[in-house]
Amino acid sequence: MIISPANRTRSVREYYFSRKLKEVASLDAGRKASGRDGIINLGIGAPDGMPPASAIGALTEAAVQPGVHAYQSYVGIPELRQAFADWYRRYYGVELDPSGEIQPLAGSKEGILLISLAFLDKGDKVLVPDPGYPTYTSASRLTEAEILTYDLREDEGWIPDFDALERTDLSGVKLMWTNYPNMPTGAPASMELYTRLVDFGRRHGIMICNDNPYSFILNDTPLSILAVPGAKECCLELNSLSKAHNMSGWRIGMVAAAPDVVAEILKVKSQMDSGMFRPMQLAAVEALGQGPEWFRELNAEYGRRRELAGRIFDLIGARYDKSSSGMFLWGKVDGNNPLSKAWKKAGCPGRPAGAQPEAVTTLSEDVSDAALYGAGVFITPGLIFGKNGEKHVRISLCAKPQVLEDAFRRLEEMMAV
């Protein structure tokens, strides 16, 4: 490299799944080359279902029209902003002004970095949950902010310990990231929790950034923090079509907040892109207009998958919440894990050359490695979500029932040897 990278990049690594999926792809190719079945990937939360048919129809119909292939408005077409406002009114009971309180995004993940760039200076502090989505930390580090983790613990239902937060030195804290229904734990949102978060943010002058893409998944009562009276004084909310509408690859999301907050985010976003493809925006309007029957059918399927993922956890000795929300199942393992013991008893088959057993430092990595190398099934180690995830593993429900059944069979056969 002819020049040195920016100092800010030294504090972050390539995203875990970006790195891990390269290894999974290599293992997959090796297995297939030797005549074996490929890797079963239960790691990524990428919905495998089809988007609403009307959304696909709107996209294809608009894409062949003249005049739709030019640059678009930075703030999105009025129809899309109105559709987001209608969606929030219908399902969350929240009134949003489409002219100033909604900003369409290229997925909510983009919003995490935009918000960080818009509001954080070097040395500012950010409250980040542990366990939590790794991008909250990496986006904060890219702005050279200081990370203050706050614990989410199983014995407290994976919600913040507000007494501990009140004892924390909060000087210099500007943002607090929250995410319910929680990823990775599946803990649900509640209006009591949201009310406490709003009160905490208002009293301490902290912007509560609520990441809300899982609110419809395995959940009959989607909630928004913006439904709490006064929330717009100290809160913003990210949302997305990725999960609830099977449109993760489309990259369509939004941020909702008071107009002055949205305006600051737009300052950054307008430097980074030139608007969303108009046919995609029109397709998103159709998707957002789906009625309750869409979500009932979606959740009936995820419910079946959650049961099958639970069978896998029962098999490998992981304890889990059978009523968790979201598109993952989160399981706790212990040192006597039967999957890990069976793999080690067999001599750790499949372990890549050069990888040493002592390199594994947590239970979550141990169990994940046993499943991946021993049975060709990738499940996510909880370690990547923070130290409070070290004794946990996560299964994505974004795999068809037959795939989950095949994973169960492979693991069962490996453990029977």
pLDDT in tens, 178-206: 999 999 999 999 999 999 999 999 999 99
358 has pLDDT over 60: no
Strand duo 125-130 + 146-151: pairing: parallel
How much is the pLDDT for 87?
98
Question: Residues in the chain, how many?
Answer: 417
Partners of residue 126 on adjacent β-strands? 147, 175
Q: How far apart are the first and last CA of the chain?
A: 49
Mean pLDDT calculated for residue range 240-258 = 97
354 has pLDDT over 70: no
- Alpha-helical (H) ranges within 333-400 are 338-345, 363-375
How much is the pLDDT for 9?
78
Cα-based angle 236, 242, 243 (whole degrees, multiple of 5): 95
Element (H, E) at 128: strand 125-130
Mean pLDDT calculated for residue range 337-365 = 77
What is the band of 357 on the pLDDT scale with cuts at 50, 70, 90? low
The token duo for 399 is: 């795999």
How much is the pLDDT for 91?
98
pLDDT digits (tens, 9 = 90+) for 366-406: 999 999 999 999 999 999 999 999 999 999 999 999 999 99
What is the band of 336 on the pLDDT scale with cuts at 50, 70, 90? confident
For residue 162, count other CB atoms closer than 10 A to its CB. 15
Q: Right CATH number for 293-416 from 3.90.1150.10, 3.40.47.10, 3.40.120.10, 3.40.50.300? A: 3.90.1150.10
pLDDT digits (tens, 9 = 90+) for 201-227: 999 999 999 999 999 999 999 999 999
How much is the pLDDT for 10?
77
Domain parsing of the chain, residue ranges = 70-290, 293-416
Residue 233 CA to residue 254 CA, distance in Å, equals 18
Residue 98 CA to residue 86 CA, distance in Å, equals 9
14 has pLDDT over 90: no
361 has pLDDT over 70: no
Percentage of the chain exceeding pLDDT 90: 83
95 has pLDDT over 80: yes
347 has pLDDT over 90: no
Residue 153 CA to residue 148 CA, distance in Å, equals 16
What is the band of 124 on the pLDDT scale with cuts at 50, 70, 90? very high
Mean pLDDT calculated for residue range 95-100 = 98
How much is the pLDDT for 359?
52
Name which of 21-25, 134-138, 185-189, 232-236 the model is least confident about.
Answer: 21-25
How much is the pLDDT for 355?
55
CB-based contact 324:307 (threshold 8 Å):
no
Burial of 9 (0-12, 13-18, 19+ CB in 10 A): exposed
Name which of 6-10, 332-336, 385-389 the model is least confident about.
Answer: 6-10
**Radius of gyration for the alpha carbons in the chain, expressed in angstroms and rounded:** 22
342 has pLDDT over 70: yes
CB-based contact 143:114 (threshold 8 Å):
no
CATH top-level class of 70-290: alpha beta
Mean pLDDT calculated for residue range 123-130 = 98
